[in-house]
């Protein structure tokens, strides 16, 4: 089997014939469309891994009300049109009863714009995005377990201000994701009667940040908040430090620090701050982290590493499974939505999620971490 091919076989019961295999006929289908190729491939694979290991764990315990979870995974390459096409496919052809862990503010936003979730009356749990456009106005189909980008921006700006850094710039991806983060930083600064020291953009699905580096270097801020993904973050971090006196670089939570270190080395990655919207997954000091580490050890493939990303989707899968349990022995899409609404102060094991009929923002938890001299994250 080719490396990571298991991700594409996560559905487990796919067959060539038109007849549905008897062993799969009564499965609970959960669909996940994620970027397994392209600039966000490492993140996408981590997202799928986190959900998959939890579903495997539950299936080994007998499933949910005696039914096994069939995790159907499709690769959108972080491309919006593919996200839409594959979401419709997993709903209409695969018969998903719920969705989990999509990536991209623009990608998920397009699903809302085209009413894909609404028309199917289906829940999407734990999307890997904090875009405010997906949260306000209220949307009943998306159940967020992470803080929004506005929450992250507030936490980052607060930390920088405490370090006496008031001249703050923003480097952002020129799409809904990046603009959402930019708006969050602007709001946090305005709250403190401050203005941006400078901004710069780069195009989605590239790591061509040369012009962004020039613009930020010219503005010469004390700190830069990066609203970007792995490769662009790595490229910008390496280049800006060679031409500027910027004292601090901080990225929002969507990047994988191990990937940043791999791309530019420990020396250039050292000191980069990263906001986090989940508890620290590397030390089993809380119950959910201990459970996650045990499940990863048993069900993850050899060589797979723990990360904030797969931990987030592990928690997302746990939240969704609780919703499936509460939906009863014959879960429908409508029943799953109604069940998820009952997760008031649901404690996953040291990380609490709050949903209701009028609230889909499950958490506003934010803390800042820093890449240390050995490439590991420090709290």
Q: What is the pLDDT of residue 256?
A: 86
Q: What is the pLDDT of residue 8?
A: 47
Task: Name the pairing type of β-strands 168-173 and 223-227.
Answer: parallel
Give me the tens of pLDDT residue by residue for the chain, a chain 379 residues long: 444 444 544 444 444 434 344 445 689 999 999 999 998 999 999 999 999 999 999 999 999 999 999 999 999 999 999 999 999 999 999 999 999 999 999 999 999 999 999 999 999 999 999 988 999 999 999 999 999 999 999 999 999 999 999 999 999 999 999 999 999 999 999 999 999 999 999 999 899 999 999 999 999 999 999 999 999 999 999 999 999 988 899 999 989 898 999 999 999 999 999 999 999 999 999 999 999 999 999 999 999 999 999 999 999 999 999 999 999 999 999 999 999 999 999 999 999 999 999 999 999 999 999 999 999 899 8
Neighbour-count burial of 246, counting CB atoms closer than 10 A to its CB (0-12 exposed, 13-18 middle, 19+ buried): buried
């Amino acid at each position: 089997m080719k490396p990571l091919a298991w991700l594409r076989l996560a559905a487990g019961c796919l067959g060539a014939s038109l007849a549905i295999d008897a062993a799969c006929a009564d499965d609970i289908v959960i669909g996940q469309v994620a970027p397994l190729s392209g600039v966000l491939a490492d993140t996408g694979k981590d997202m799928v891994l986190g959900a998959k290991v939890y579903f495997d764990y539950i299936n080994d315990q007998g499933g949910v009300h005696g039914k096994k979870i069939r995790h159907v995974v499709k690769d959108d390459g972080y491309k919006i049109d593919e996200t839409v096409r594959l979401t419709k496919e997993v709903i209409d052809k695969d018969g998903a009863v719920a969705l989990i862990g999509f990536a991209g503010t623009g990608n998920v936003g397009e699903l809302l714009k085209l009413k894909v979730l609404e028309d199917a009356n289906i829940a999407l749990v734990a999307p890997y995005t904090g875009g405010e456009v997906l949260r306000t106005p209220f949307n009943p189909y998306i159940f967020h377990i992470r803080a929004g980008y506005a929450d992250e921006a507030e936490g980052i700006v607060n930390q920088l201000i405490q370090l006496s850094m008031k001249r703050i710039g923003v480097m952002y991806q020129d799409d809904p994701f990046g603009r959402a983060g930019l708006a969050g930083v602007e709001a946090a600064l305005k709250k403190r009667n401050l203005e941006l020291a400078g901004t710069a953009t780069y195009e989605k699905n590239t790591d061509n940040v040369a012009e962004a580096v020039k613009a930020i270097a010219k503005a010469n801020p004390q700190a830069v908040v990066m609203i970007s993904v792995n490769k662009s973050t790595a490229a910008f971090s390496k280049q800006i430090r060679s031409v500027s006196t910027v004292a601090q670089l901080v990225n929002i939570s969507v990047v994988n620090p191990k990937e940043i270190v791999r791309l530019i080395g420990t020396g250039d990655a050292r000191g980069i701050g990263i906001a986090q919207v989940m508890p620290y997954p590397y030390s089993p000091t809380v119950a959910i982290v201990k459970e996650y580490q045990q499940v990863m050890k048993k069900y993850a493939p050899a060589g797979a590493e723990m990360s904030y990303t797969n931990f987030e989707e592990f928690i997302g899968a746990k939240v969704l499974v609780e919703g499936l349990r509460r939906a009863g022995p014959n879960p429908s899409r409508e029943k799953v939505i109604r069940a998820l609404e009952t997760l008031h102060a649901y404690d996953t094991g040291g990380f609490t999620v709050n949903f209701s009929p009028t609230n889909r923002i499950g958490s506003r938890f934010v803390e800042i971490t820093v890449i240390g001299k050995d490439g590991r994250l420090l709290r």
